[in-house]
Structure formats: C-alpha cells, structure tokens
Chains A and B, each alone.
Chain A
Amino acid sequence: MTVAFYIMAAIAVLGAVMAIALRNVVHAVFSVLLFFSALAGLFILLLAEFIAVVQVLVYIGSVGILMLFAIMLTTKVTGDPTRKLLSRGWAWGGLVSGALLLAFLVPLITQSKSESNSQLSNFNPSVKDLGLTLMDPYFASVGVIALLLTAGLIAAVVAASSASGE
C-alpha cells in the first residue's frame, strides 16, 4: 500500500512538474494527463473508487481532450525558445507557493494524526452510501447544481440549433 502510494505520488509530482517545465504545449497537456491518472490511482488507494472513476471520466476523458482539441487548433505549439521559462524572481515565487502549500497541508496533517483510527476503520464508503448522502442531507445543493448543468446543456443545444439554422 505504502509503496504504491509513493510510486503514485512520485508520478503525480513528476507529471505536475513536467506540465510546467515542458516548452511544447501538447507535451505539457500529456503531462497533466499523467498527473490526472496518478491522482486517480491515489483515489483508488484511498478506496474512493467512485471518485477515481469520475476523475478518469471527467478529467482524462473530457477535459484532457478539450485541452488537446483547443491546443491543436492553435498554430504555435512550441512557443518562443528565446524566452526563458524561469524569470528572475522565480525563487520568490517558489518560496511563496511553498509557504502556501505548507500553510494548507500542515494543519490537515496534524488534524488527521490526532483523530482516532476507529472512526476511519468503520468508514466504508460505497457508491450507494454516496448517492444516499447526496440525496438526503445535501439534496438542495445537488438539486441546484443539477438544474444549472441541465440549463447549460439545453443552452448548448439551443446554441447549436440556432447556429445551424442560419
């Protein structure tokens, strides 16, 4: 388990770093996809298989394709090689983002350490439980999101039909 976690985490970090560092935008998108896949693997390790599958379905299956689609239609894929990727103040940027990351992570880590493990061992999330939870305490927010998304979908249909009718 722990070994798998470290492998996945290493792949995720590698993908994220490559996504920033690579000059070719298409390669960068594939690095992001690598990061997404590693994240899905991490979700599986956490027994959150539903989230893992949604991660693959939404992020790798749709968002990734949309990014590729948009990038492939642009003419300049590689970018200007004379410009440096690292500007002069990169160390300050790294320092600030590192500090922010720690500021978010440290409280979370200490919190999870202090909680007893008995609560976690009883925690067995199935897709059914997830659905019931979404439908009972969180029904209002789920309903609003569903309404908004459906409205967006219908808007897409209307936009497509009026565009083709012209």
Chain B
Amino acid sequence: MTMEVTDIVWVIVKAAMVAIALLSFSNLAVLAERKVSSWIQGRVGPNRTTLPLLGAIPILGTGLTRMGLFQPVADGLKLLLKEDPVPDHVNKFYFFLAPVASMIPAITIVVVLPFGQIIADGVASPLVLADLDIGILFIFAVSSLGVYGMILAGWASNSKYPFLGGIRSSAQMISYELSMGLSILPVFMWANAPGAETGLNLFSLVQHQQLVWGVIFMPFSALLFLISIFAETNRLPFDMPESESELVAGFNTEYGSFKFGLFFAAEYAHIIVGSGVFTVLFLGGWHPLPVYSSAISLPEGSVGTLLSIGIFLVKTFLVVFFFMWIRWTLPRFRYDQIMKLGWTMMLPLALVNLVLYAIILALMTPVTH
C-alpha cells in the first residue's frame, strides 16, 4: 500500500509497452502468414500495397512494398472502415462481448511471461511485468478462459454454423487442456528435483534450463505440449471451431468489420503468446545454446539485456513460423478424429510420459544430490 504515484504510472507505461508490442507482432504475424503461405504454395504474396509518399522512396520504399510491409495497414484500415453489421437475431450484449472476451486472455498471459533478463552484479533478474510465484498456474487459468470468446460468439450469434463452432470449441478445449496440463508436469518435476528449488515460477524455470533446454531432456513432453497448443489456439489441423469447408466461417460467421478483426488479431496474439510459453517452458527462454557452454554466455549490462530479449523473440518467432508451416502443410482433421486423438492418444501418452519421467527423475536423484 506504499506505492507511489510514479510507480503506478511506470507500471501502466510498461504494461502498455508490452501490450502494444504484442498487438504489433500479431499484425506482423498476419502478414507473415500471408507471405509464408504464398511461399509454400509457390506464389508471391502481398507485394503491391504501398503508402503514397513512403512507397516512392527509391530503394527503401519499393523494397518495403515488395515485402508487403504496408499490407497490415491496409488490412487494418479495411476492417475499421467497413460497415459493421449486427444481425437482428443476435443477442446484442454477448455478441459485443465475445470478441473482447477472446482478446483478453492473450494480453493477460503476457503479464507473467518473462521475455528477457537483466544481469546486475552477477545476479540475474527477470524482465517481466509480474514475476508471480505461481506463473505457470496463472497461465493455465487464464488460457482456460480463451474458449469463452468462441462459446459466446457461437451462442450469441443465434445461428446454426456459429453455434456448432462454439460447441465444438468447448469440447475440444476441455479435452486438450487435460493433456496440456499433464504434459508439462514432468518439466516442473525436473525443475523441482532435490537441489533445484524452482517452484512454479517461470523465470526460475528458464534459469534452470541454462544447463540443458527442456526440449533436449524431455522431447516427448515438448511434442505433447506443442500439439496441445495447436488445439488450444484452434490452428489447423485443429481449427474445428472455424473449419470454413464445413461451417462457413465457424463461430465468427455473423461477425464483420472490426469485431471480426478483433477475433482475427486475437487468434494471432494467442499464437504468439503460445509460442512464447513454449519457448519459456522448453526452448530455454533466452539461453542461446541448447547445452551450456561457458564460452557463450550473455554479458552484463544493457547489451546482455537486449541480447536476451532478442534471443527470446527469435525463438518465439521460429515457433510461430512452425505454426504457419504446419497450417499450410497438413489437412484439417475430422471432428471425431480430433476427439479420438485427444482422449485415446494424447491423454494416455501424457500419463505414461508423466510416470516415466517420475521414475527417471527418481533414479537420477542420488546423482544430482
């Protein structure tokens, strides 16, 4: 309760910076998706959109235009300026609430996600908005709210296809949340083995991975978790709530203009945040090498801090790229296949994985002690 006004302002400024960064990245991710898809399909992708004066600068402007870097501006403006249709048969309150509800979890999770470190006097401290002791539980709790956006949209639209999308999303989310939780239990068992007091804190977990990344020690957990994030973010091959070949556009069929834009941005924000969580849990956060070597370690001071943020972002974006790569490579599952995969494959495998690593860690304990 002794917080000064300047402290509060500083907290708000930091939070705004992180939120703006996330939203800008999700805009860029939309562009990246278009470029990656065109690359995979042997097309060129967006390369015409340009800004009046900026695009006319000889090499820089034309280069940026070729890269499609002005496309997000055009996309955003288009969504903003379009007519915003609200059908008569919808439940207005929940119809307006749904896009907001789908955006909130993505922005909230970022609060506990450590994205870099500050080393001062040999002691590393995290770059994070809130360094919670129960970081991973917070992430699970908030990410479990992500489905409400889709359920609300599906129900409030009061129309067949969105409704089916909403029902599918709720069933799918519950099924895959279970294996997602089970798949990361071994990671925290490993991080809390005797001699390592990590707790459920994410920063300590990243520091714990300095010796060896989680993905090296438990690749199977990483695989299960990655598949579960695909299901939780509703990305192809798990995009049942949307599946445009069956459900028109799924839960957002009745939405247009900026409300649709919000759903769209939320999807990419979720992908980026999911990739960030994967990086923290399994890819060693900002540690440059999978296995520790004393020759390469981050220096102290602002250079090291910037490097740590850079490494973290590069890893996150590589995971985001992986998401896109999979989307344009694999076909969509059938709905019954998804439920079967979730309950009869992922869940037993996650249980076996958990027991296996419990035994392995118990056998390792005398060595680490």
Contact = CB atoms under 8 A, between A and B. Distances in A.
Interface of A: 1, 26, 49-50, 53-54, 56-57, 60-62, 65-66, 68-69, 72-73, 126-128, 150, 153-154, 156-157, 160-161, 164
Contacts of A1: 1
A60 B167 contact: no
Interface string B168-203: 001101100110000000000000000000011000
Given A53-B138, A57-B137, A156 B343 contact: yes
B288 interface: no
Contacts of B351: 150, 153-154
Contact of A53 (B141, B148, B339): B141
Q: Is the interface of B mostly helix, strand, loop or mixed?
A: helix
A72 B169 CA distance: 13
Given A49-B134, A61-B141, A127-B133, A157 B199 contact: no
9 contacts: A61-B144, A65-B148, A69-B170, A72-B166, A127-B199, A127-B200, A128-B199, A164-B336, A164-B344
Contact of B144 (A57, A127, A154): A57
Contacts of A60: 141, 144-145
A65 B347 contact: no
Contact of B137 (A54, A156, A164): A54
A53 B163 contact: no
B170 A65 contact: yes
Given A57-B144, A62-B177, 12 more contacts: A1-B1, A26-B155, A56-B142, A56-B145, A60-B145, A62-B144, A65-B144, A65-B151, A65-B174, A69-B170, A160-B339, A160-B344
A72 B340 CA distance: 22
B174 A66 contact: yes
Contacts of B155: 26, 68, 72
B146 to A, nearest CB: 9
Given A50-B134, A126-B133, A157-B347, A72 B163 contact: yes
Interface in B116-161: 132-134, 137-138, 140-142, 144-145, 147-148, 151, 155
The 4 closest A-B pairs by CB, nearest first: A61-B144, A160-B343, A56-B141, A57-B141
B348 interface: yes
A17 B166 CA distance: 27
A3 B260 CA distance: 38
A81 B132 CA distance: 48
A157 B343 contact: yes
A66 B199 CA distance: 30
Contact of A50 (B1, B137, B166): B137
A153 B140 CA distance: 19
B133 A161 contact: no
Q: Could you say which interface size class chain B belongs to?
A: 20 to 34
Contacts of A156: 343, 347
B348 A69 contact: no
Contacts of B147: 65
Contacts of B141: 53-54, 56-57, 60-61
A73 B134 contact: no
B167 A56 contact: no
B168 to A, nearest CB: 10
A26 B151 CA distance: 11
Contacts of A150: 351
A154 B151 CA distance: 28
B4 to A, nearest CB: 18
A1 B133 CA distance: 22
A150 B351 CA distance: 9
A80 B177 CA distance: 36
A54 B138 CA distance: 9
A58 B351 CA distance: 20
Contacts of A56: 141-142, 144-145
Contacts of B144: 56-57, 60-62, 65
A5 to B, nearest CB: 14
Contacts of B336: 164
B151 A68 contact: yes
Contacts of B170: 65, 68-69
B125 to A, nearest CB: 19
Contacts of A61: 140-141, 144-145, 177
A62 to B, nearest CB: 6
Nearest to A26: B155
Contacts of A154: 348, 351
Given A53-B138, A53-B141, A128-B199, A157 B151 contact: no
